[in-house]
Structure 1
């Protein structure tokens, strides 16, 4: 079976997405952190997705989805459900094409992200207490309106767009040994794994989840999708109840390791990124650094890339992080 066909997506689609996105999104920097290299005892590189227009990698998948839509489908508008970052990506992509976007969010959604969606012109609708409840309402309304549903992580074109992070890492640091990637629904890791394991199979891929939202870790251990009854984490970008169906199929034979991190570990990682690198990271973006510093033992000459997936950190979380030690 061809690589990726079990989930209806091939490595070539990730490469095509990279070419399609190039006019809209320049590659984000991959820079070495000398301070973190010393602290972690290995060669540490940061893939800085927090400087994207929406301060998150999610804009990649949303833009790729809309680029590939027909003009007629675009005119019908788009609809989605999101805890925050994906909604911003969809709002940004919709604005780029001049079409209507509606985003259903949990009632307790990150207000920073909600206001960003509104500034980008999206209609934001609170619905339910969780992402899953917001998603259910989005699908109900989509069936009535005929707008195109842009899934946050379980869509081949969205996955391909997110996988372009891996294309850039491969070009920027061909000798990469290990990549630590935050995991919510699994779209980012799935897209990167599909590409990197096909084109650079020696690269180790490690997924990082919060201890209170470890759906992929449990799913891989069980050999089937596991849906958590309860999700508890401040990392709203990683607060999925489990991996998407496509993502699980792509990841079940492509992930080298899974690591779970605690809330305090993510807070300390946010503080270090701010104080040492002058970079803002939300908890999901800081999770890979938390894993490297507290859970993963790297070799001294190992070249480790941390995907800093987003920088939409709230004032409350930032203050907690600055007080952490």
Structure 2
């Protein structure tokens, strides 16, 4: 597969349906750090790119589409389906949290909340796919999804990305997989994972994707039990440095973004920055660093109305 062509085609395909998200520069301890604010994308995460690319890439069966999600992917698929006039059924685990669950429900999609984690939602979505003939829109391990997510870096470079190194949070690997396939080694990519959800780290140690236990404050976005095969292959082919960050570091980065940049993001959205702020990743002298901010769906919703 020629990923460069696939990602360029995806960008053309989804251009009318997604936001070109802004970039900015932050001062972190005297160092200029470029950020891309992909948390300002439709439904509050980069996931809309992969969802639209998948739904626009071919015919959708009469049964519609189905997706399993920790929350952000489900919201993006439901949003894309509504915009394109398609029926959607989304399965999410309870740990998605009320903010993301309500975001999906507001799109009008059929929603099923299941016990357990993302893996449980994926199992039920696959059963639904088999019984109805609906088209499965995978959250991170399908070519159309990964190509759609890769448009983030394609767009960022067109905006004048000025960095040697890009820090990207990792869950199942769709976002960083797309980034690696677009960049093809032209820039260094650092994969940042929570210590409580180390899917890519574990795969690299094991020599291939393996199941891991997941938990922690970012689990409803970075809580895949196993890294996607597409991401793992991209990491193997193009090289990626992996760092792990603590729960405290993620929470501190989330607060730092609010207090210093007035950006309200979810824990997953702050995870990549946490590596820089906590010292889990230390740039070399003169190294130009960029950070991808990927999600905004905070739980609990700070503006949610209480009972009554």
**What is the distance in 2 between the residues matched to 1:245 and 1:10?**
15
Alignment partner of 2:224: what SS?
coil
Does the CA-based 8 Å contact 2:97-2:300 persist in structure 1? no
2:249·2:274 contact (CA, 8 Å) conserved in 1?
yes
Q: CA RMSD in A?
A: 1.6
Q: Secondary structure at the match of 1:80?
A: strand
How far apart are residue 161 of structure 1 and its match? 0.2
Task: Provide the residue aligned with 2:25 in structure 1.
Answer: 32
Instruction: Give the Cα separation in 2 of the matches to 1:74 and 1:115.
Output: 26
SS at match of 1:194: helix
Give yes or no for the alignment of 1:217 onto 2:201. Answer: yes
- Residue 306 (structure 1) aligned to one of 269, 291, 303: 291
Match of 1:183? 170
Between the aligned partners of 2:132 and 2:63, the Cα distance in structure 1 is 8
Give the C-alpha shift of residue 23 in structure 1: 1.0
Instruction: Give the SS at the match of 2:89.
Output: strand
Cα separation, partners in 2 of 1:168 and 1:287, compared to 1, 3 Å: same
1:44 corresponds in structure 2 to 33
Displacement, 1:224? Answer: 1.0
Q: In the alignment, what sits opposite 2:181? A: 194
| Superposition deviation, residue 316 in structure 1 | 7.7
State which of 11, 14, 33 in structure 2 corresponds to 1:21.
Answer: 14
1:65 aligns with 2:54: yes
Pick the aligned partner of 1:95 from 82, 90, 94. 82
Task: Give the aligned partner of residue 96 of structure 2.
Answer: 109
Give the TM-score normalised by the residue count of structure 1.
Answer: 0.89
Q: Which runs of 5+ in 2 are unaligned?
A: 304-308
How many angstroms apart in 2 are the aligned matches of 1:116 and 1:288? 24
Aligned to 1:54, what secondary structure does the other structure show?
Answer: helix
Q: Secondary structure at the match of 1:296?
A: coil
CA contact (8 A) 2:193 2:271 kept: yes
Tell whether 2:225 aligns with 1:232. Answer: no
For residues 233 and 281 of structure 1, what CA distance do their matches in structure 2 show? Answer: 16
Normalised TM-score (structure 2): 0.94
- Whether contact under 8 Å (1:223, 1:252) holds in the other structure is no
CA shift, 1:101, in A, is 0.6
CA distance in 2, matches of 1:87, 1:226: 24
Q: Deviations over 1:267-314 (max 9, x none)?
A: 100111001101011111100110011111113532211110001011
Q: How far is the alpha carbon of 1:108 from its aligned partner? A: 2.9
Separation in 1, partners of 2:96, 2:11: 30
Picking from 44, 47, 53, the partner of 1:55 is: 44
Q: Give the Å deviation of 1:110.
A: 1.5
Equivalent of residue 63 in structure 2, options 73, 76, 96:
76
TM-aligned CA deviation for residue 222 of structure 1: 2.1
1:10 to 3, 17, 21: 3
Unaligned residue ranges in structure 1 (runs of 5+): 319-325
Cα deviations across residues 2-44 of structure 1 (Å, max 9, x unaligned)? xxx4xxx52210111111111111311111113x3xx2x4320
In the alignment, structure 1 residue 147 sits paired with structure 2 residue 140: no
Which residue in 2 is equivalent to 1:323?
none
Q: Which whole-Å CA distance do the structure 2 matches of 1:317 and 1:284 have between them?
A: 17
Distance 1:106 1:315 in 2: 16
Cα deviation per residue 1:100-158 (whole Å; 9 max; x = unaligned)? 11111113321101111111111110123011011111101111111100011011000
Equivalent residue in structure 2 for 1:85, among 66, 72, 76: 72
How many residues were matched structurally? Answer: 301
- The residue number in structure 1 matching 2:306 is none
